């Protein structure tokens, strides 16, 4: 290397050119950004290890889109103490958990107006004397997520989430990392349907009337109530006892709960005039059906069934007749027949005159069948039993 010296023999330092200075600045900038990104990643992994791990399992299964995700090592008790009232507050909870004080600069939330969804769910005795449960879920087009949940202190469960309930609507790619992170991780507490390893199942179904006013109890959302029951209930009675300890906040919409267990017990849990009302299945009937109409007979007829606005209410009589016919010879329903019942009563998704959640397409988003004989669940997306048919092991 040739080094120039001055008259005193001291090396002459060369001045960097403008291009060299720019290059040095850019290199330092990239180094700082990478360091900050690495520090942020380490912080997120420490602050929310379970949530970060769950996001890495997100998998797109079909074109609807239908996704799956595994969520492990979470503890419901911390969330409950926050007394959250809506799904949007659940999302904000996660944003504050990660970025307290600056959470507002991060996207993510649920600004949807809740709309009553048509639905029917039932529990029925099978030919072997065991029980099954099934649901037809009709709504406006939105992504669907199934979460396999493994809490620290609770039962393993399989949970279905309508992602419009956390602000991710039709056409949204929920596996996009930036912008959808908080909705996706909060989905575990915004569940509308599921079953656990004890074959206890719980569904959230829209209804005309719901009011719980025991403010002395801990406040939770109806969706969080599903999370609570799936984590900690093995029977219908234990689910009823659990809910007695909470004030359910129905500010996001009116819902009732349909619960069932492997022993054949089932019930519709409603909140009328501020109090819990439980309608159990009749002891001499081997099935129970829940639709969008109220089961509590004290609710005046005009408020009981939306004045028949929702076609799904008419499913009740049709399904009741179909299921009752299965027991005339002492038999029970076969899962294959139940799947046909679901398929035959599904609606093809088509455009309507109304728009909700950013979509005017309404129909059967999914059907799900839980079989205690095989201990599995089958979900059909978009009424497409040929191409979007998925089975999950519940063992």
Confidence of residue 186 (pLDDT cuts 50, 70, 90): confident
- Beta carbons within 8 Å of 387's beta carbon, 6+ residues apart: 62
* Residue ranges per structural domain of the chain: 15-47, 119-393
pLDDT of 40 strictly over 60:
no
Would strands 218-220 and 246-248 be described as parallel, antiparallel, or unpaired? parallel
Could you tell me the CA-to-CA distances from 139 to 30, 219, 366 in Å, in that order? 47, 27, 9
Per-residue pLDDT of 362-382, as tens digits, reads: 889 999 999 999 999 999 998
pLDDT of 208 strictly over 70:
yes
Confidence of residue 103 (pLDDT cuts 50, 70, 90): very low
pLDDT value at position 289? 94
Q: What is the pTM of this model?
A: 0.83
8 A C-beta contact, residue 368 and residue 377: yes
pLDDT value at position 105? 39
Read off the pLDDT of each residue in 198-221 and give the average, rounded to a whole number. 89
Nearest to 118 by CA among 354, 388, 360, 346: 346
Read off the pLDDT of each residue in 126-147 and give the average, rounded to a whole number. 90
Per-residue pLDDT of 1-34, as tens digits, reads: 565 655 666 565 566 676 766 777 778 787 777 7
CATH number of 119-393: 3.60.60.10
Could you tell me the CA-to-CA distances from 321 to 48, 318, 337 in Å, in that order? 50, 5, 14
pLDDT of 97 strictly over 90:
no
8 A C-beta contact, residue 148 and residue 71: yes
pLDDT of 47 strictly over 50:
no
pLDDT value at position 5? 55
């Amino acid at each position: 290397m040739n080094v120039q010296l001055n008259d005193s023999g001291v090396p002459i330092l060369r001045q960097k050119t403008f291009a060299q200075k720019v290059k040095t600045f850019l290199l330092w900038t990239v180094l700082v950004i990478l360091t900050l990104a690495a520090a942020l990643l380490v912080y997120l992994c420490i602050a929310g290890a379970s949530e970060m791990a769950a996001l890495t399992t997100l998998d797109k299964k079909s074109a609807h889109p239908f996704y799956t995700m595994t969520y492990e090592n979470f503890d419901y008790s911390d969330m409950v103490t926050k007394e959250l009232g809506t799904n949007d507050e659940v999302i904000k909870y996660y944003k504050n958990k990660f970025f307290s004080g600056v959470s507002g600069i991060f996207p993510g939330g649920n600004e949807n107006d809740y709309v009553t969804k048509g639905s029917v769910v039932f529990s029925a005795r099978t030919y072997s004397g065991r029980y099954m449960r099934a649901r037809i879920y009709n709504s406006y087009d939105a992504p669907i997520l199934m979460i396999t949940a493994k809490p620290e202190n609770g039962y393993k469960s399989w949970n279905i989430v309508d992602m419009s309930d956390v602000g991710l609507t039709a056409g949204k790619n929920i596996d996009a990392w930036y912008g959808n992170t908080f909705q996706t991780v909060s989905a575990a507490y915004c569940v509308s349907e599921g079953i656990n390893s004890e074959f206890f199942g719980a569904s959230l179904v829209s209804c005309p009337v719901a009011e719980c006013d025991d403010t002395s109890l801990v406040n939770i959302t109806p969706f969080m109530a599903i999370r609570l029951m799936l984590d900690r209930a093995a029977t219908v009675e234990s689910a009823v006892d659990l809910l007695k300890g909470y004030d359910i906040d129905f500010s996001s919409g009116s819902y009732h709960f349909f619960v069932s267990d492997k022993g054949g017990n089932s019930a519709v849990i409603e909140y009328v005039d501020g109090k819990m009302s439980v309608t159990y299945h009749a002891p001499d009937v081997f099935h129970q059906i829940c639709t969008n109409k109220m089961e509590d007979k004290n609710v005046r007829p005009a408020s009981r069934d939306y004045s028949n606005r929702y076609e799904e209410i008419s499913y009740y009589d049709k399904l009741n007749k179909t299921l009752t016919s299965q027991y005339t010879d002492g038999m029970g329903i076969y899962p294959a027949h139940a799947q046909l019942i679901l398929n035959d009563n599904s609606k093809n998704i088509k455009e309507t005159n109304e728009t909700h959640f950013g979509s005017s397409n309404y129909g059967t988003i999914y059907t799900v069948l839980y079989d205690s004989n095989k201990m599995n669940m089958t979900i059909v997306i978009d009424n497409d039993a040929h191409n979007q048919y998925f089975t999950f092991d519940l063992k």
